[in-house]
Amino acid sequence: MSFGVVALLFASEHGPYWDVGLVAGVLFNLWMIRTKSLGDLMLAHGITNLCLSGYVIVGGKWEYWL
């Protein structure tokens, strides 16, 4: 049950892009189950945000930073 609740909460934090947040929440949950390392999970989330930041800046997709 906690898997679903955490994924839904993660999705709810991503506003109109809740569907992408839900997919990311599920993937991050699976990563946590696999590695059992909060540090690895934080690193994965940081890398994801870094990649998104690069995409927004290079591609001019400013709508992703609401």
Residues 14-29: what's their mean pLDDT? 92
pLDDT above 90 (res 37): yes
Provide the pLDDT for residue 64: 85
Provide the pLDDT for residue 65: 82
The closest alpha carbon to 39, from 51, 48, 49, 31, belongs to 31
Number of domains in the chain: 1
Provide the pLDDT for residue 58: 97
Label residue 57 by pLDDT band (50, 70, 90).
Answer: very high
Label residue 29 by pLDDT band (50, 70, 90).
Answer: very high
Provide the pLDDT for residue 41: 92
Q: In terms of residue numbers, what domain contains 26?
A: 2-64
